[in-house]
Amino acid sequence: MPDNTQVLFKSHPQAMPIPDNFEIVHVDLPPLEEGQFLLENQYLSLDPYMRMLMGGGWTYSGPGMTPGQLMVGRVLGRVIETKNADYAIGDHVVGRLGWQSHAISDGTDLDFKVEARQDVPLSAYLGACGSTAITGWVGIKLVGKPREGETVLISAAAGSVGSAAGQIAKAMGCRAAGIAGGRDKCRLVEEVFEFDACCDYKADDLAGQIAAACPDGVDVYFDNVGGRVLDAALVNMNKYGRIPVCGVLSAYNDGGDRYGVENLHLVFDKTLNIQGFLLADHHDKWPEARAELEDMVASGAMKYRETIAQGIENAPEAFIGMLGGANVGKQLVKLV
């Protein structure tokens, strides 16, 4: 059996994670049992929710990880040895199998088997055709439910979830405006992801920028951030607007006093609907979403970007960089 390189959760960060919060180890893999198969993991997905599971800040998921545990994360792997008739050597699968170079599975812990298409790159099944874009699909189609001609505003629009959400809204006949950090990312949102406008949250007067970008107001605000960005969006919401809440990026590294949203009274004044959602609660919709996203990627209707680090040993540094906004689009680690 091959040597398995793993990244373990070593200690709770106090704010932004540092390399010392992780530990790299090498472990032996046991022989396969009947019904199992061995995966050589090819790509690791790095996502903001992992920071919540590390503790030391805000989390929605209880105690999260404990020191010494394998870092949680999705991988795309290739079957290299099998004792399971349903998984042949060469098959590709996606599953939340952790930060490691290899994994043993019996299939019950997987998200899906990849039905490979020549017009869809394998790495896309962790991003534009995987859980991140499916998150955007669920938030827009099942929670926000925009109607043709409405205006949809998306925060973290240069990221993999936000960029997909905006393009899905555009495909539904909506006006899409984004919020991103810095002019370079705003240009990416407008010129590559083809949003109608983008606001720079690092510049002054975000609420005023949103008003200019959304002259008819905002009908659906896809919230990845919370905090001050949510405050600015609330000012610009139309009556009966919908706010699917995907994440609270502004709080993930917050170990001190949290920002109190000042404009929550507008939820009442404007009869707004704010609904948080978790991707896991909509697993029955994943095949439908993935099929639609595959077609969008294959046709070029879904534009996406990937930032790819090389090697499992560099996963902690890539993760820290992603949390600081160093990535463009989906942050991956290429493992082989």
What tens digit of pLDDT does each residue of 96-147 get? 999 999 999 999 999 999 998 899 999 999 999 999 999 999 999 999 999 9
d(CA 63, CA 84) in angstroms, rounded, equals 34
Domains in the chain, CATH or no CATH each: 4-127+304-334 (3.90.180.10), 131-280 (3.40.50.720)
Please give the structure tokens belonging to residue 162: 């936000």
Reply yes or no on whether the pLDDT at 152 is more than 90.
Answer: yes
pLDDT at 255 exceeding the cut of 80: no
Mean pLDDT (whole number) for 283-303: 96
How many CA atoms does the CB half-sphere of 252 hold within 13 Å? 20
Q: d(Cα 107, Cα 125) in Å, to the nearest integer?
A: 17
Token couple for 113: 């088997």
Residue that the structure tokens 């998984």 belong to: 87
Q: Tokens at residue 208, please?
A: 């005023």
Q: What is the pLDDT of residues 43-75, one digit of tens each?
A: 999 998 899 889 865 555 556 899 999 999 999
Mean pLDDT of the chain, nearest integer: 94
Per-residue confidence band for 247, with pLDDT thresholds at 50, 70 and 90: confident
d(CA 114, CA 74): 14
Query: What pTM was estimated for this model as a whole?
Result: 0.89
Distance CA 153, CA 209 (A): 12
83/32 Cα distance (integer angstroms): 7
What whole-number percentage of the chain has pLDDT above 70? 95
Per the CB < 8 A criterion, the answer to whether 151 and 218 are in contact is yes
